Amino acid sequence: MSKHKVTKIGVLTSGGDSPGMNAAIRAVVRTGIYHGLEVFGIRRGYSGMIDNDIFLMDSKSVANIIQRGGTILKTARSDEFRTPEGRAIAYKNLKRLGIDGLVIIGGDGSFKGAQTFSNEYDIPCIGLPGTIDKDIAGSDVTIGFDTAVNTAVEAIDKIRDTMDAHDRLFIVEVMGRDAGYIALHSGIATGAENIIIPETKTDIEELIANLTEKEKRKKLVNLIVVAEGGQFGDANELAKIVKGRLPNADVRVCILGHIQRGGSPTCEDRLIASHMGYYAVESLLIGRHNVMVGVINNKIHYTPLNHAVKQKQTIGQEWMKIVKILAS
């Protein structure tokens, strides 16, 4: 805990956007105003901090945004902020306005920047995990994950209709960078026959044998959900391998892409974002600094920023066993 008294705070969104960021911004602004703080919005993440694209927000600034995807503050990645010179400019802009606390909504890269900046200039920072990938340790949930998964499930359900109509093998690629949570959750929820994620090495011979056995049983409709950036590169590369080994299979590929990042956030994401945003401001007020606000076992949990950026969520092998059994 710190005795640093916060009077003016800034809020920014950084890195990839995720549904629910606006709900988090709204919670930070209104909780801050309730406690008599001045709350400043910083546009385009750390780039806006360097460019002095900073403005005073009021309650009306966040009216009618809780249901909107994206982020009203915009977001960007800043190479300049990675330099000491860039951070020095950012600090001067904050100091000129009297901003003495920050709430950063983003992923691990955003938290690394916050940790470095806070260490250099003694600006207390609170991180909120805003990422569809759910790849940050210290929280069972992240802002945007539930919406992204539901978007993927809705799309895959529709793809299944045309799979069934044509007896096709579909390979659907979902987002997640180097994390397989979206693939795992959406794959299980849509009854995928195979799920390929970065956390587990896939035996291609076993995969082909599995598909061959299903072909012999006249099960010609098969769904493979694969996370982007896995061992096969992308879904198209995997499709080439499968087509080469199963010439009779009608193989199609669908890459869902950035559709998973957009759209109105689910109720779950709005609640998570509102909850975390409220506790971010409360943390600054009581002197709990340089932590990420997360949720573990349905309770608010605080993880030091340096721990949050060093560790990753892990996927238990029992999940893959479940997938294998349910798809048999």
Termini Cα distance of the chain: 53
Identity of the residue numbered 115: Q
146 labelled catalytic: no
Among residues 17, 53, 122, 133, which one is catalytic?
A: 133
- 137: phi > 0 → left, psi -120 to 50 → alpha, else beta; which? beta
Asked whether the beta carbons of 74 and 44 are under 8 A apart, the reply is: yes
Question: Residue ranges of the alpha helices (H) in the chain?
Answer: 21-34, 45-50, 84-97, 108-121, 145-166, 181-189, 204-216, 235-245, 267-286, 305-310, 317-326
Distance of alpha carbon 289 from alpha carbon 51, whole angstroms: 25
To the question of whether residue 133 is assigned a binding role by annotation, the answer is yes
Ligand-binding site membership of 231 (annotated): no
175 half-sphere exposure, CB direction, 13 A CA radius:
24
Is 28 flagged in the annotation as binding? yes
Q: Is 288 one of the annotated binding-site residues?
A: no
Confirm whether residue 160 is marked as ligand binding. yes
The annotation status of 270 as a binding-site residue, yes or no, is: no
Per the annotation, does 27 bind a ligand? yes
191 annotated as a binding-site residue: yes
Q: Is 154 helix (H, G, I), strand (E, B) or coil?
A: helix
Amino acid 220 reads: L
300 is in an annotated binding site: no
Q: 154 CB contacts (<8 Å, ≥6 apart)?
A: none
> Binding site annotation covers 291?
no
**Ligand-binding site membership of 220 (annotated):** yes
Binding residues for Mg(2+): 108
Residues assigned a catalytic role: 133
Binding residues for ATP: 16, 77-78, 107-110
Binding residues for ADP: 26-30, 160, 191-193, 217, 219-221
Binding residues for substrate: 131-133, 168, 175-177, 228, 252, 258-261
